[in-house]
Amino acid sequence: MKEHLKTYIQGIVPEFVDQEINLFLKYFKLKKVKKKEFILKQGECVKYETFICEGCLHVFHADCNGNEHTLYFGIKDWWLADIDSFINERPSQFNIQAIQDSSVLIINKEDKDKAFREIPKVEKLFRIMCQKSLIVYQQRIIQYNSMSAEDRYIFFIKKYKDIAQLISNKAIASYLGVTPEYISRLRKKAVNIG
């Protein structure tokens, strides 16, 4: 399983040498997560940063009316964490739940901090990962401001084909910020048009 993460790291920071990666990988523990199982519930403090080897997980916030709002879905090669909670050690706003049986690698805060100190390239790795996430979020924000729900739906389905097939329409709705009913209507329309 750790091979996944190794390949991922080499893809991001090619300067990493084997020995450094292996040292880093030692800090990770493999965890199997069953479908529907939570690895984080909102209100808890995030203890681990998580790399997905296989499966699919759902990061979402439930508001006081019980409505769910999706931050994102993660598949193979994605990282999961509520950074705000992990870094600032405050209760998380988010739930993380497996949509399928999944395998993840987890590292705790002390070990991650140790890795930052022992292996300087880890700083670079996380700096670049963060930048990549930022780009995606920026894109998404511009889309909220400039596109209709219908266009965002079409964009989502195209961009995240593989994820879209694994998740419910309800979950897509909660990602796009619309109601499940509306997704249902959009879908019907899409089918009729072809």
Partner DNA sequence: TGTATTTCTTGATCTAGTTCAATTTTTTAT
Partner DNA sequence: ATAAAAAATTGAACTAGATCAAGAAATACA
Residues near a second copy (CB under 8 A) are 61, 63, 67, 69-71, 82-84, 87, 93, 116, 120, 123-124, 126-127, 130-131, 133-135, 137-138, 140-142, 144-146, 174-177
* Binding site partner of 84, from DNA, a second copy, none, Cβ cut-off 5-8 A by kind: a second copy
d(CA 124, CA 14): 11
Rounded least distance, CB 138 to DNA, Å: 20
* Binding site partner of 87, from DNA, a second copy, none, Cβ cut-off 5-8 A by kind: a second copy
Considering only residues 140 to 179 of the shown chain, the ones binding DNA according to CB under 7 A are 148-150, 168-170, 177-179
Residue (22 or 139) nearer to DNA, CB: 139
Identity of the amino acid at 151? D
Residue (19 or 148) nearer to DNA, CB: 148
d(CA 178, CA 166): 19
Rounded least distance, CB 151 to DNA, Å: 8
Could you tell me where the DSSP H helices lie in the chain?
2-12, 18-25, 83-88, 109-118, 121-146, 149-159, 161-164, 169-176, 180-193
Taking CB under 7 A as the rule, does residue 35 contact DNA? yes
Q: Which whole-number Å values give the CA distances from 79 to 32, 83, 129, 149, in the listed order?
A: 15, 11, 9, 27
Are 115 and 107 within 8 A, CB to CB? yes
Rounded least distance, CB 162 to DNA, Å: 16
Are 129 and 83 within 8 A, CB to CB? no
Residue (100 or 108) nearer to DNA, CB: 100
Place of tokens 């990988």: 25
* Binding site partner of 188, from a second copy, DNA, none, Cβ cut-off 5-8 A by kind: DNA
CA-nearest of 177, 147, 151, 142 to 72 is 177
Applying CB under 7 A, which residues contact DNA? 35-36, 148-150, 168-170, 177-185, 187-188
